[in-house]
Amino acid sequence: MTGYQSVSFQESSTSDTERVDILLSQMTLAEKIGQMTQVEKNSITPEAVTEYGIGSVLSGGGGSPAPNTPQMWARMTRRFQEAALRSRLGVPLLYGVDAIHGHNNVAGATIFPHNVGLGATHDPELAARIGRITAVELSATHVHWNFTPCVAVPQDIRWGRTYEGFGEQTDLVSEMGAAAVRGLQEADDYSGLSHRQAILACAKHFVGDGGAAWGSAGQYEWIQDNWQRAGSQYQIDQGDMNGDEATLRAVHLPPYQVAIEAGARSIMVSFSSWNGLKLHAHKYLLTDVLKREMGFTGFLVSDWMAIDQLDPDFYTCVVTAVNAGLDMIMVPFDYRRFILTLTQAVEKGDVPLARIEDAARRILAVKEEMGLFAQPWGDESLLPQVGCQAHRQVAREAVRRSLVLLKNEGALPLPKNTPRLLVAGAAADDVGLQCGGWTIEWQGKSGPITPGTTFLAGVRETVAAETAVNYQPDGRFPANLTADAGIVVLSEPPYAEGVGDRADLTLPASDLALIERARPHCRRLIVILYSGRPLIITDCLPRCDAFIAAWLPGSEGQGISDVLFGDYPFSGKLPFTWPRSMNQIPACAAEDTPLFPYGYGLTTKGGK
Ligand code: BGC
Ligand code: BGC
C-alpha cells in the first residue's frame, strides 16, 4: 500500500478537495513538479515514470507501439500506468493522445470525418455520439485523455489546420465543440467524469489560433529538432493574430466559455501569439481572463515543445510559461532538463511555490474527479469494440450527412441499375487519402493504411449486379468506351498542422487534366473532392454536371455511395465560405460574391 492511500483518502467522509489537500501536503517539491511534467512515450521508460512521479505521458501523432494493434496499445499504456502507481505516492498518470477523428493512431480503429465534415452536418448530437464512440475505443486501450476538440475558428483557409475546426463561424464551433466535450466525458448512464468510459476532453488551442495571419509564423533557430526545422516553412500555423481584444473576445473566445460550461477540465494553450506575444507567455489571457474572469478551474497544458519557442534561454522559457499560468508542460523530450530547470527556478524564487502548488492541485483535482485514484484503468473488455461494425455504421452515417452538394444538373441521384459506370482518380480507391492527416501517422499517408471501405468498394457494393464498373485511376479509358455516368475523385494530399499551410489553393493542373481525360467518355460527369478546406474549383465546375465536397470522410467511404445512389438525401451545408479565386482569401470583400456562400448546399430526394 502506498503512503498516499494509507492516509485513508478513499474514505467516503472525505471530500474531493480535502483528499487533494491531504495528498498535496504529503508531496515533495519534486513530486509536485513531476505532476506538472508530460513526456512523449518514446522519450521515457516506465522506471523513470516511477522515479520522477511523472504526471502524464503522451503519444504524439503516430506515436504507436509496434505492432500497431489495439491490444499492444493497451499493453503499452498499462505499463506506464503500473509504473506511475509504483511511485512513492502512487499517483496515477494521465495518458494523452490526439484522437481527433476517432482513435486515429490505432490501426483498425473507426475513423470519422475530420471536424470540417462534422461542421457541415451542423448536428451537435452527431458530434456527441462520435465523441462517445471515440471514448469507448480510447477506454479499451487505457487512454484517459484526448487532446480534442479543436475549437479554433479558422479565418484563413490557407491554414493547414483548417479541417480541425468545425467551421468559420463562432456559433457553429461553439455548439459542435461543446457537444464533442459532452460526448467524450459523459458515459451513457451519465455519472460524470468518474465513469470508467469517460475521457477527459481538452479544448484547444487557446486562443486565436484560427486568427493568425499569413506569413506571421516565427523562426526559432535555437531549437534543434527535425520537426521544428520543418516548421520553418510554416506560414500561418503557430503565427500571430493581429487584432483588437474585442475581436478576440467575439470571434475566438466564446467556444472556450461554452466548452467550460459543457464540463471541459483541460485546455491546451496555442503555439500562436496575439499581437506579438506568445500565448504560452500570456499571463493576461491565461490567468486573468481564462482562469479568473472565465472561472476555469481545470488545468492548462502547453503544446508540444511550445515553451521552447519563448526564448533562446530555456530557464527563461520555463519561468515565463509557468508564471503565465501553464500547469502542465508537454516537454515532450528532455524531461530531466525541464524538471531540473523548474526546480532551480523555484529554489531561486523566480517561480513562486504557490504557483507550483496551484498547478499541482489543479492536475490532482482533475485526476480525483476522474476517479483515477480508485480506478486508474480503462476497460480492456471493450477491445472487441475498437473498429467494430456498430461504430463504423455511425462513421458511415456521419459521412452521408457531411457531404455538401455544390452543383447538380440532373446528374444525381444515380440509378443503381446504370448499365455502366466509369470511375477515375487514385483517390477513389484509397483509404489513406479519405482519412487525411492525423491518421496512423501525424501527417497521414496515402494507401491502405488502416482497414476501411474505399469509395470504389462502396460503389461496387451499392450498384445493381448487372452494372459494370470500370475503374481507371488515371482516367485513361479505352477510346471507344462510353458510359451514362462517370465519377472522378480528386484529393488533396494528406497533411497536418503547418505542413499544410498553402499559398495557392487552386486545383492542380493534373486534376483538371484527369477530368479532361474522363469527360469524353461520360454523358454525365460527377466530381467528388476530398479536401480539408474549400479549394479553387472555378475552372473545373463548368466541366462537370455535379460536384460534391466530401471533406476528409475517414474510413467509411460507403457513406458516399449511400447518398450518390439515392438511399439517403444530400443534406450537408458549407461550414466555410467557398471562394471563387485566391483574391477572396483570407476574406471575401463585402461587394464581392463568393462562389458559394457559407451554409450553401443542395439537397436531393433520398430513400430513407
Ligand atoms: C508528433 C506530433 C506533434 C508534432 C509537432 C510530431 O513529431 O508526432 O504529435 O504534434 O511532432 O507538431
Ligand atoms: C499540436 C497539438 C497536439 C500536440 C500533441 C502539437 O503539435 O499542435 O494539437 O495536441 O502536438 O500531438
Query: Which residue is associated with the grid cell 430513400?
Result: 607
Quick check: is 441 catalytic?
no
Name the closest-CA residue to atom 4, ligand 2: 304
Over residues 320-349, the pLDDT tens digits come to 999 999 999 999 999 999 999 999 999 999
Q: Which ligand is nearest to the CA of 161?
A: 2
Q: Rounded to whole angstroms, how far apart are CA atoms 261 and 264?
A: 7
Residue 6: predicted pLDDT: 40
Q: For residue 597, is it within any domain?
A: no
Q: Rounded to whole angstroms, how far apart are CA atoms 53 and 68?
A: 27
For residues 152 and 288, membership in a common domain is answered with yes
Asked whether 303 lines ligand 2 (CB < 6 A), one says: yes
Q: Rounded to whole angstroms, how far apart are CA atoms 267 and 288?
A: 15
Q: At 303, is the secondary structure helix, strand, or coil? A: coil
Q: At 157, is the secondary structure helix, strand, or coil? A: coil
For residues 29 and 163, membership in a common domain is answered with yes
For residues 313 and 398, membership in a common domain is answered with no
Residue where a domain stops, chosen among 384, 400, 433: 384
Q: For residue 605, is it within any domain?
A: no
For residues 418 and 559, membership in a common domain is answered with yes
For residues 373 and 444, membership in a common domain is answered with no
Ramachandran region, residue 161 (left: φ > 0; alpha: ψ -120 to 50; beta: rest): alpha
Write the CATH number for 256.
Answer: 3.20.20.300
Distance 22 CA to ligand 2 centre (A): 33
- 206-227 mean pLDDT: 89
For residues 357 and 431, membership in a common domain is answered with no
Q: Which of 164, 227, 308 to mutate to test the pocket of ligand 1 (most atoms within 8 A of CB)?
A: 227
User: DSSP letters of 475-518?
Assistant: ----TT--EEEEEEEEEPPP--GGGG--S--BPPHHHHHHHHHH
In total, the chain counts a number of residues equal to: 608
- 96-108 mean pLDDT: 98
For residues 96 and 165, membership in a common domain is answered with yes
Gap between the terminal Cα atoms of the chain? 58
Q: Which ligand is nearest to the CA of 271?
A: 2
Name the closest-CA residue to atom 8, ligand 2: 303
Q: For residue 186, is it within any domain?
A: yes
CA 201 to chain centre: 11
- 92-107 mean pLDDT: 98
For residues 368 and 475, membership in a common domain is answered with no
Q: For residue 604, is it within any domain?
A: no
Q: Rounded to whole angstroms, how far apart are CA atoms 564 and 385?
A: 29
For residues 457 and 430, membership in a common domain is answered with yes
Over residues 496-541, the pLDDT tens digits come to 999 999 999 999 999 999 999 999 999 999 999 999 999 999 999 9
Domain count, the chain: 2
Asked whether 60 lines ligand 2 (CB < 6 A), one says: yes
Q: For residue 601, is it within any domain?
A: no
Alpha helices (H) in 325-388, listed in sequence order: 335-347, 353-369
Quick check: is 497 catalytic?
yes
Nearest to 513 by CA among 540, 482, 548, 487: 540
Distance 156 CA to ligand 1 centre (A): 22
Q: For residue 485, is it within any domain?
A: yes
Residue 15: predicted pLDDT: 85
For residues 323 and 445, membership in a common domain is answered with no
Q: Would you state the cell numbers that stand for residue 331, as one nine-digit string? A: 516537454
Write the CATH number for 472.
Answer: 3.40.50.1700
Residue where a domain stops, chosen among 324, 354, 384: 384
Q: Rounded to whole angstroms, how far apart are CA atoms 170 and 168?
A: 7
Q: Which of 43, 57, 97, 98 to mutate to test the pocket of ligand 2 (most atoms within 8 A of CB)?
A: 98
Over residues 404-419, the pLDDT tens digits come to 999 999 999 999 999 9
Asked whether 62 lines ligand 2 (CB < 6 A), one says: no
Q: For residue 357, is it within any domain?
A: yes
| Under 8 Å between Cβ of 152 and 169 | no
Q: Rounded to whole angstroms, how far apart are CA atoms 464 and 481?
A: 20
Over residues 344-363, the pLDDT tens digits come to 999 999 999 999 999 999 99
Annotated catalytic residue: which of 123, 303, 327, 562? 303
The residues, any chain, with a CB within 8 Å of residue 85's CB and separated by 6 or more, are 2, 92, 376
Q: Which domain holds residue 113?
A: 3-384
| Under 8 Å between Cβ of 508 and 427 | no
The DSSP output letter for 556 is: B
Q: For residue 245, is it within any domain?
A: yes
Q: Which residues have CB under 6 Å of ligand 1? A: 60-63, 227, 304, 442, 497
Residue 590: predicted pLDDT: 83
pLDDT class of 3 with cuts at 50, 70, 90: very low
For residues 416 and 470, membership in a common domain is answered with yes
Asked whether 204 lines ligand 2 (CB < 6 A), one says: yes
Question: In whole numbers, what is the pLDDT of the chain averaged over residues?
Answer: 95
Residue 229: predicted pLDDT: 56
For residues 403 and 319, membership in a common domain is answered with no
